[in-house]
Structure 1
Amino acid sequence: MTNPRRTARVPHTLLGLLTALVLAGCGSPAVTPASEDLQLEATQAELMVAVTPQQVGQPRPFEGSQVIMDPGASGGSAVILLSTHQTVTFKLPNNLKAQEYTVSIVGRGEQYMGPPQVSLSSVDGPDRIVTLDNTQYEKRSFGRMQLSPGGTITLTFVNDLYNEATKQDRNAVVDYLQINQSKSGK
């Protein structure tokens, strides 16, 4: 006659061994290769509006950051920044290698009495500003920036201009940010 306690332990022991083998095969995620471009879509980022005391009670038409349908953008949509201090915050992957990268925006400007400008900031470095003097999507480089895994980088519209009488407006349209290890950003 078999011992019921002994036969009950064999499956549990086998299950424990299989679980240990499966867990041993699960390591930490690999570091994102630095040689490849990383594309961070603006439509997947966090949109925020900074409201100043002067803005309260003085709403403008179409104020805010919005996802728009745009056939010229990758994936057919982009984010439009409609007033000063509008931000798009991009979360960096947790498996990104900590180092310096060339960071570029692919975007366009809606021109009115000059082109829109956007700044890029991170906790690892100073703000950088680019001018979107192009009306079609093009890449503009912010230069080299130190980036850390799991960190954030924030894009801010800095120079909106709106004419109430003519309804003309200067806006920034963001398709995505490109992060590249190469010094040229190509």
Structure 2
Amino acid sequence: MTSQYLDAVAKRRSIYALGKNLTQSNSDIVELAEKAIELAPSAFNNQTTRAVFLFNENHDKLWDLTLERLRPEVPSEEAFKNTQAKIEGFKAAYGTILYFTDVDIVKSFEENFTLYADNFADWAEQGQGNAQFNVWTAFANENIGANLQHYNPLIDADVKSAFNIPASWKLRAEMPFGSIEAGAGDKEYMNRSDRFKVLD
């Protein structure tokens, strides 16, 4: 049995050696990602995922403010050099997608569907995963590398201020993307018998 879908999924890897040598236009990248997010399933079709696309100086601004916010959190100058090198790797990418959850939508569903109120925050996170995976896979199939970072909540306030983010949008992840300057390494998988159960 073969699956073109699984072949596509297999191309999605965490690419950390990212560059600015993309052939796609900014508008093509945005269109691809927006479509991937729109096609991602969400509980009650509540569509709580939001995205902000950062290019050029806005992309640089994100990683500059992230580095500065991390400076007081890192225990030593030597450790900060390692952090700085990591952040510079993200800054070397072509752009970044910021993923948010609109918590006002989550709250409205909690109020309108009280039987399931305790689940909507979890379901919003599942929606995030679906959207992020869709974009990541769509990018991989266009030879656009990406990885996923989580500097939230440390950078939340700075991001909201820098990019005029609505108050109800909660930052969930940052996805730097760009040309693939070096591929991902080999990936190990758990023994399937430890992970899956089949009941015939």
Higher relative contact order (CA 8 A, sep 6+): 2
Over alpha carbons, which structure has the higher Rg?
A: 1
- More helix per residue: 1 or 2? 2
Does the TM-score normalized on the shorter chain lie above 0.5? no
Going by fraction, where is strand more abundant, 1 or 2? 1
TM-score, normalising length: structure 1: 0.29
